[in-house]
A and B are shown apart, each in its own frame.
Chain A
Amino acid sequence: MMNTMTKVSHTEHHGPASGLGRWFFTTNHKDIGTLYLWFSFTMFLIGGCMALMIRAELFQPGLQLIQPEFFNQMTTMHGLIMVFGAVMPAFVGLANWMLPIMVGAPDMALPRMNNWSFWILPFAFAMMLSTFFMDGGAPNFGWTFYAPLSTTYAPPSVTYFIFAVHMMGISSIMGAINIIATILNMRAPGMTMMKLPLFVWTWLITAFLLIAVMPVLAGVVTMMLTDIHFGTSFFNAAGGGDPVLFQHVFWFFGHPEVYIMILPAFGIVSEIIPTFARKRLFGYSSMVYATSSIAFLSFIVWVHHMFTVGLPLMGELFFMYATMLIAVPTGVKVFNWVATMFRGSMTFETPMLFAIAFVVLFTIGGLSGLMLAIAPADFQYHDTYFVVAHFHYVLVPGAVFAIMAGVYYWLPKWTGHYYPETLGKVHFWCSFIGVNLTFFPMHFIGLAGMPRRVPDYALQFADFNMVASIGAFIFGFSQLIFLVVVIKTIRGGSPATAEVWDEPHGLEWTIPSPAPYHTFSTPPEVK
């Protein structure tokens, strides 16, 4: 024991290695967190360019810029890159940076595996993006890749897509194992489970979801692979298979997956709102129970994505009721955030602005989700732009805004500098206006009857499509402001104190800013 202690305090004096090798061989949770965050931002811009290509084509009726086959590749790759390349790695990056500090651990439990789980990703996405240059083009069957469009009728590049998905899955599973091991085993003395910051709690639950469903995704793509290359007929009706089976297996992964993308966001917002309301989070334990209930329910609602595939009445009813139930714990969370703000002493720095926008816009996405849960009404909403509006509301001003809120919140801790507040606010307001201008009109065109994933549309949808496209360009280009803010803050700015904000709670505010390369080599005492 004594030996380990001296060894730890010895390494404490080592800084990062010099040169590029630092980034390739690092096992430091902060370095790996940084890598994840930059990777995710790069993917966010690439996936964003695809979104802008889609919106530019949909600016007016008729085909102007791209042809339908390329349009389908754009929608597919935009979805895959944003889900697996932008949102998920961003949360893993934040987890890497913050979880060990928040629980008072010196690093992640499995630092070498941590390095590996990051470095798989650039190769997976390089392979996925390389499909654009292959014969027959990139995957063009939507991010949900329904068989048999993605098997019998797919371009040859689907095999590369399958391999890339396998690699992302391995990376996510390793990341999740690492997070669970860290949280369960490396908490500082006195840090009981019910004292964990909510970001840690939500990530713990997310990690269990990841371990449960990523193998299901791996299973479904493997079944596709054997259908395509080894003569099986899992999803081929002509061979006695079942195309609907694909959808069941996919959505058994897919529904928990959407909570994987939102639970850590709940955690971030639950850290930020108390800090800027200068008041403890309302209903901590109910937040923990609500998150757990949402995670449990996420396993029994997958069929609400499939209300029109022709299910028996009893099936429709069960999944409608189960889906509606999710509104209860989600409501509890929203009420808790509002109650935290109530009778606080609020200020509105950029992280708080993003967090408040999160609460409002995520709730709008949640309410449209409740509408979609009503099975008979879903027959009119399904696969229209109403659905597109719904899930972009929960993912863009939901997950993405929470990530940005988190970055602004912890950036002074990471870099040792305050970010430029005015520029941060400009970024927020441009994003806020852009996001609503893009996605709010999609509710209208969806209700009016425009199907999703079409490269061209009937004339009555023209006006709102034009508004949405203008909004998309405003939102897209505002993210360059974000890039400028982050680079400026890394390079300089007024020095941040250890606390950064007014009396924030949590271990991360007890260490200096910028956070030293090694923190909590000696565990802190938590009372």
Chain B
Amino acid sequence: MKAALILLLVSASNVPYARAEWQLNMRRGVTDISHSIFDLHMLIFWVCVAIAVVVFGVMFWSIFHHRKSRGAKAHNFHENTLVEIIWTLAPFAILIAMAIPATATLVKMYDPSDADLDIQVTGYQWKWRYQYLGQEVDFFSNTITPSEQINNQAPKSEHYLLEVDNPLVIPAGKKIRFLITSVDVIHSWWVPDFAVKKDAIPGFINESWTNVPEPGIYRGQCTELCGKNHGFMPIVVDVRTPADYELWLAQMKNRKAEEQSSAQQSMSMEALMEKGEAVYISSCAACHQLNGEGIPNVFPALNGSLIATGDISQHIDLVLNGKTGTAMQAFREQLSAVDLAAVITYERNAWNNNTGDKVEPAAIDELKMAAKQ
């Protein structure tokens, strides 16, 4: 046991931390709401400290002075109605004093009216989808911490586990309303610096809002246990000046048009396989594993499976539409036609699946379009 502890200590001291801190308190955050919550938190904290000092003070004073070894004799009193009434009513008064600012803050938090921008936030196992309502901007946000870092084969980067491919971009100084929901299990969308935390529940749309005064990058995580990769579902919000935000919005719209045109072009097998591997790693490997073997009786293997080596249209159908009642999601909306074609091609030719099948982006695009009508 001792040896194991020493071993752990030694191995721990060899890991260089990029940003180890002894942070004690809550983050004050950057929004009005987060500031009032922080003040509320400090208020209750000091009230609790005061109560503790009084109660423990009397107790330790008695422990020190009224001990038998110091010759203390027990005084046999065991009731005092006045004292008992006082120590029932005094806490009651303190509670009322605490409830007033708490109520005021809560009322402020529950006012999502007059928002400048509505964003639908949807939880998926284990990624977030952001849809800018009325803007035709819609994308997924995946973790990008490589598995080498998680498995200690590479040094951990500064924002280990708190980094994503596509951050949520919002304008500073505008009221943003979030409409939060989920397609599978319950998740919870939390950005500590905004003091926004709301559960993402399938079948429900929850409301929350924020107004961030300063541009910056803010990080958070999913806070409701949502399965295997619950710890690997970060949130990154990139707050930009309104002008920069407009620029970004235009870029996003351009990118969408480009994606649509590239879906019409034929791709070589090598290009598909290369792209497919990258898509597989970010979207499929969490369950089906890098080696395509899955996890026995939890997530099926793809290597040598009937789907990945059998009828190609069944394979495409499964990836696009998912399988209800299982963890297999519908990727139709999540991935572009090129990505879908690439990943299906990859799955049919990686490992021992040497089918030689190639899926063209145009074919997938056609299916995507057909489903929309």
Contacts and interface: CB of A to CB of B under 8 A. Distances in A.
B160 A459 contact: yes
Nearest to B103: A317
B351 interface: no
B227 A283 contact: no
Contacts of A148: 184-186, 202
A449 B34 CA distance: 13
Of B67, B75, B149, B185, most A-chain CB atoms within 10 Å: B185
B369 to A, nearest CB: 25
B197 A380 contact: yes
A49 to B, nearest CB: 13
Given A344-B62, A457-B161, A380 B201 contact: no
Interface string A207-245: 000000000000000000000000000000110011110
A155 B323 CA distance: 16
Given A310-B204, A376-B105, A451-B222, A460 B68 contact: no
Given A242-B203, A343-B75, A149 B227 contact: yes
A426 interface: no
A284 B63 contact: no
Interface in A312-364: 313, 316-317, 320-321, 324-325, 327-328, 331-332, 334-335, 338-348, 356, 359-360, 363-364
A308 B62 contact: no
Interface in B86-103: 87-88, 91-92, 95, 98-99, 102-103
Interface string B36-79: 11001100110010011001101100110011110011111111
Interface stretch (B127-135, B188-196, B356-364): B188-196
Contacts of A343: 62, 66, 72, 74-75, 77
Q: How large is the interface on A (under 10, 10 to 19, 20 to 34, 35 or more residues)?
A: 35 or more
Contacts of B278: none
A457 B88 contact: no
B68 A56 contact: no
A320 B99 contact: yes
A127 interface: no
B19 interface: yes
Nearest to B222: A451
B22 to A, nearest CB: 5
B56 A360 contact: yes
B12 interface: yes
A335 B207 contact: no
Contacts of B243: none
A453 B37 CA distance: 24
Interface string A417-447: 0000000000000000000000000001001
Nearest to B286: A68
B223 A334 contact: no
Interface string B198-215: 110111101100000000
8 contacts: A64-B152, A279-B76, A309-B201, A364-B52, A367-B52, A368-B48, A448-B25, A459-B160
Given A368-B48, A380-B34, 9 more contacts: A153-B327, A242-B203, A283-B79, A317-B106, A325-B95, A328-B88, A328-B95, A456-B232, A459-B18
